[in-house]
Structure 1
Amino acid sequence: MKQTYKAQNISCNNCANMIKASLEDEFGEIEVNLNVTPKEVTVNIENETKESEFKKEMEELGFEIIEE
């Protein structure tokens, strides 16, 4: 199921490309919306385990997911 997360510290295409290059092999296609603040990352998440892994890996890249 596609999920959209708000993330901190994403500022440009280089950030978006780094997220995609680092995580698309494991999580499939990732979309990064740079036209909103905070920036949004949309990814297909299959279950809670994958969601936890995605959030952890985003944080390791320096892009913390904002909990709402």
Structure 2
Amino acid sequence: MESTLKIQNLKCGGCANTIVTQLSKLIGVSMVTVNNDTDEVHFNYNSETELKTVKKRLSELGYPMIGEANPLPKKAKSFVSCAIGRLNKK
């Protein structure tokens, strides 16, 4: 199955790199792409369990879904994820 999720706090290629790296590590999740222009994450998954896992992981990284709470700690996490993504960018 395929899904595209609209997320918050997506700022740059560093953010995108972190998201792709972290979601690609999840079992049952593949073909992860991030569109910075539309704030969207697109991926393939095997079951609803993986979809829930992806949403949870994105939120943990500081990128909650559009419409979800986005308190200051989540925004701060996204800046950390962004910095890590920039450092690990190839």
TM-score, length-normalised on structure 2?
Answer: 0.67
Query: What percentage of aligned pairs have identical amino acids?
Result: 37
Counterpart of 2:12, as a letter, is: C
SS of equivalent to 1:29: strand
- Displacement after TM superposition at 1:20 (Å): 1.0
Q: Which residue of 2 aligns with 1:18?
A: 18
The alignment of Structure 1 onto Structure 2 pairs a total of residues equal to 65
In structure 1, runs of 5+ residues without a counterpart are: none
1:35 paired residue among 37, 50, 70: 37
Q: Is the contact made by 2:30 and 2:45 (CA closer than 8 Å) also made in structure 1?
A: no
Aligned equivalents of 1:49, 1:22: Cα separation in 2: 17
Task: Give the helix-richer structure, 1 or 2.
Answer: 2
Aligned twin of 2:57: 57
Q: Contact 2:2/2:43 (CA < 8 Å) preserved in 1? A: yes
Any stretches of 5+ residues in structure 2 without a counterpart?
68-90
Displacement of 1:9 in angstroms is 0.4
Question: Which segments of structure 1 move beyond 2 Å, counting only runs of 4 or more?
Answer: none
